[in-house]
Structure 1
Amino acid sequence: MTLTRSELPLAARPLQGRTALVTGAATGIGAATVKALAAAGATVAISHFAQIDQARAVLEQARRLGADGIEVNADLTDPDAVTLLISQVTSELGPVDILVNNAGAYPRIPWDQTDEHAWAHALDLNLTIHYRTSHAVTPSMVQRRWGHIINVSSVNARTGRPGLTAYSTAKAGLIGLTRSLARELGPHGICVNTVLPGAIQVDAETTLPAHHRTRPEDQITRRCIPRRGQPEDVAAAIAFLAGPSTSFITGRSLHIDGGWYLH
């Protein structure tokens, strides 16, 4: 007899019965992560900002993988919107077991053009919003003594890059947030980790001005593995870190960059 996905044993769907919230989940790494978690059996909440059509398409793909889920339009720079997001996910799907902090932006601003507003905005979009979502979900994780928080940083947090000073600073801040939360929440059975993607091939890169783009062949020469990184490469690592077999891994920073930054 052939089993349906919902009937597969736990080993094949290790996240069965878990609820995952992925921010910035309508496209790119976020969308790939939703599909990886859905394939592993998780119920998925797709958080996005004004990308309704893309989010609904990702939700349909998750459902074809046998997962239940919802999509929620939320501006994570608004603390009240974050509170409403967590409330809706909890009401419709149950408490969040897995939080993937993926949302963010990639503002290219030369240092001599970086002012107070640009600096604060970049940190809000790439660091502070992750504080908000993490702070909102941890009380229920502490109560249930189980949870995984996975932050999506960037190789630029280690290497730095011209025109991305504020962005790289925020992504480095995520490493500090990860390490501190790992120590604070570990006694409650909660694991907190970070993934640091390299240059991943996503649709959003085509919206960058031509003078800000790096040639694919130049990106490839930086790596031990000579190909472009794909969103699925990052999603696979996130799904691994979200699984039950990683309950003794926390506070770690995992590079998904094809061997770009060796340390």
Structure 2
Amino acid sequence: MPGPLNGHAALVTGATGGIGRVIAQRLAADGAAVVIAHLGDHPAATALAEHITRAGGTAMPLEADLRDPDAVRALCQHAHEQLGPIDILVSNAGAYPRVPWTETTPDHWSDALDTNLTSHFLLARELTPAMTASGHGRIITIGSVLAAAGRHDLTGYISAKAGLEGLTRALARELGPTGITANCVAPGSIRVPAEDAVVDDPEAMNTRQLARQCVKRRGSPADIAAAVAFLASDDAGFITGQTLRVDGGWILG
């Protein structure tokens, strides 16, 4: 499929979720061959790969527990073997565990960091050698504006996302001389179908959120995918170590 990412191969984690799925579709539409990385969501991953293929793109579903170093290593090796060197990593997978501070145990803390920070480290560690060898790479992590805003009952999640921004800046400094850029996209309040299952009053939630934002509409996964596609492209070759907040102006600073 011709496009600005033609000839590149991307690995998108959490690719069957609301945001990850649209990112994978956008990168494929822009010409990249895409690995749809997931955890136990075979029907959705297969359906997404088939959808991309019918549209003229190239996609392959692969399963891995990104908290497991051996599983991450196997995922990356299989991806390289099937699609060639992966030179775009969209490190999107994560979890959003809500636990009040007074109930947060060391296990809760460790789980939140393993899922939302260490997994990103493991992926970058496995993929950067091939990027370094090719002289080209894009590492794009998906953070959260909550790393700057804070929120009740999300201590582990927010701490991990703040750490992810730091990891991304460190990678930018370490890897820039080899031709690799590293940037973080921090979504604001993005409207996804799963929201309805966890929000008691969606209309009231929409009203509160729009009052916080400069742009008076809810964000969509396509907004995040557009930012990722730009950072993956040659047009963003001189941008690294940045956090791009895609939040409608919710967090200004």
Tell me what 1:24 maps to.
14
Work out whether residues 39 and 65 of structure 2, in 8 Å CA contact, stay in contact via their aligned partners in 1. Answer: yes
Q: Alpha-carbon deviation of 1:206?
A: 2.8
- After TM superposition, the runs of 4+ consecutive aligned structure 1 residues lying more than 3 A away are 209-214
Paired letter, 2:174: E
> Given the alignment, which residue of 155, 165, 177 partners 2:167?
177
1:233 matched to which residue of 2? 223
Q: Is the 8 A contact 2:199 2:205 kept in 1?
A: no
Match of 1:103 in 2: 93
SS of equivalent to 1:210: coil
Is residue 150–residue 193 contact of structure 1 (8 Å, CA) maintained in 2? Answer: yes
> 1:41·1:66 contact (CA, 8 Å) conserved in 2?
no
Q: CA RMSD in A?
A: 1.5
Q: Does 1:159 align with 2:164?
A: no
Output the CA distance in 1 between the equivalents of 2:197 and 2:80.
35
Post-superposition shift, 1:204? 2.4
Q: What is residue 60 of structure 2 aligned with on the other side?
A: 70
Query: For 2:233, which of 237, 243, 252 is the aligned residue?
Result: 243
Bigger Cα displacement from structure 2, 53-62 vs 78-87: 53-62
CA distance in 1 between counterparts of 2:54 and 2:223 reads 21
Equivalent residue number for residue 139 of structure 1 = 129
Which residue of the other structure, out of 138, 146, 150, is the alignment partner of 2:140?
150
In 1: Cα distance, 2:203 partner to 2:162 partner: 22
Normalised TM-score (structure 2): 0.97
1:15 aligns with 2:19: no
Which deviations, in whole Å up to 9, do the C-alpha atoms of 1:138-164 show, x marking residues without a partner?
001111110000000000011010111
Write the letter of the residue equivalent to 1:171.
K
Deviation at 1:68, TM superposition (A): 1.0
In structure 2, C-alpha distance between the alignment counterparts of 1:73 and 1:171, rounded to whole Å: 23
Partner of 2:179 in structure 1?
A: 189
Q: Deviations over 1:154-213 (max 9, x none)?
A: 000110101111101100001100111000000000000000000111122233263999
For the pair 1:91 / 2:81, whether they are aligned, the reply is: yes
Identity, in percent, stands at 49
2:26 aligned to which of 9, 13, 36: 36
**Worse-superposed segment, 208-217 or 22-31:** 208-217
Task: Say if 1:20 and 1:45, in contact at 8 Å, map to a contact too.
Answer: yes
SS at match of 2:194: helix
Matched letter for residue 77 of structure 1 = R
Does the CA-based 8 Å contact 1:21-1:47 persist in structure 2? Answer: yes
Alignment partners' CA distance in 1, 2:198 and 2:125: 32
**Matching of residues 216-231 of structure 1 within 5 Å:** 216-231=206-221
Change (3 A) 1:202 1:212: closer
Deviation digits for residues 104-161 of structure 1 (CA, Å, limit 9, x no counterpart): 0000000000000000000111000000000000001111110000000000011010
Tell me if structure 2 keeps the 8 A contact 1:199–1:229.
yes
- Give the equivalent residue in structure 2 for 1:3: none
Match of 1:112 among 91, 98, 102: 102
- Which secondary structure does the structure 2 equivalent of 1:195 belong to? strand
Residue segments in structure 2 that go unaligned for 5+ positions in a row: none
Instruction: Note the residue ranges of structure 1 that are not aligned, 5 or more in a row.
Output: 1-5
Q: Structure 1: which amino acid aligns with 2:234?
A: P
Are residues 1:49 and 2:39 paired? Answer: yes
